[in-house]
Amino acid sequence: MLVEPIVVCLWILVVACAATWVLSLVTKEHSWVDRIWSLVPVVYVWVFAGAAGLADPRLDLMAVLVTLWGARLTFNFARKGGYRPGGEDYRWEVLRGRMRPAAFALFNLFFIVIYQNILLLLIALPAWTAYQHQTPLSPLDVILAALFVAFLTGETIADQQQWRFHQWKKWETDAGRQPSPRFLQTGLFRFSRHPNFFFEQAQWWVVFLFGCVAAGSILQWTVIGPLLLTGLFIGSTVFTESITRSRYPEYAAYQARTSPVVPWFPGRGNTARMWSESR
């Protein structure tokens, strides 16, 4: 008997929730959902493409694009040590210090594990829409694919700029010198405090639009996926910046002149020296 692809995805969701929760309890680390973040959505989209017999061009295109997204994100996460023991996101340690153990245990189960795993399924569900409406590729699909690749390229550049900066910062610190500036403010980070966040969200809005093109209408309930992802990034950005500002008082001036997420021309303010000039 043929099993519907959405049922397969729901079983994957259950297994992912159980595995990441148990691993968080056993290892006392809470970044297990982070470790599968770039993997599970790829699997979900390929489930739908495979259910169509790899014969639907739009689903195949979506699967390839999401695979490129996953490969890039996996590489970037790995080189930062995210898969190594002890590679937990520093923000969870900060949050644990602000919450009672019982409260954080509930937060871990319901938000980190269940909510985020459900979100990873939701952002991939435009593939379900495309599966239900297997229509021919159109010029809009080509435009969306080009947009996706452009956003993927932007995120790759932003992450590489951030990687180079932190490598330089580590070299300066290891050499006994005080890095100046202490956080990245050049390149794409001159136009947005979090350009990688912007490009990440933009790619999943494009995935949503693929489903809309397949269905022939923008009014699709799967918009809940990118909407919740955007909400998650807003909360994450506010929390991350509260930590950064507590560490670097000069971050306030950077906030005053630089767009939070959407790249835009910088405002007036005291411009820090270019990190590349301070090497």
Q: Distance (Å, rounded) from C-alpha 4 to C-alpha 51?
A: 8
Domain ranges of the chain: 5-278
What's the pLDDT score for residue 72? 98
Q: Distance (Å, rounded) from C-alpha 184 to C-alpha 180?
A: 10
What's the pLDDT score for residue 227? 98
Candidates 197, 195, 220; CA nearest to 208 is 220
Pick left, alpha or beta for residue 27 (phi over 0 → left; psi -120 to 50 → alpha; otherwise beta).
Answer: alpha
- H helices within 80-194, ranges in order? 90-98, 101-107, 116-122, 126-132, 139-174
For each of the chain's 279 residues, which pLDDT tens digit applies?
Answer: 578 999 999 999 999 999 999 999 999 999 999 999 999 999 999 999 999 999 999 999 999 999 999 999 999 999 999 999 888 888 888 888 899 999 999 999 999 999 999 999 999 999 999 999 999 999 999 999 999 999 999 999 999 999 999 999 999 999 999 999 999 999 999 999 999 999 999 999 999 999 999 999 999 999 999 999 999 999 999 999 999 999 999 999 999 999 999 999 998 544 433 333 333
What's the pLDDT score for residue 1? 55
What's the pLDDT score for residue 267? 85
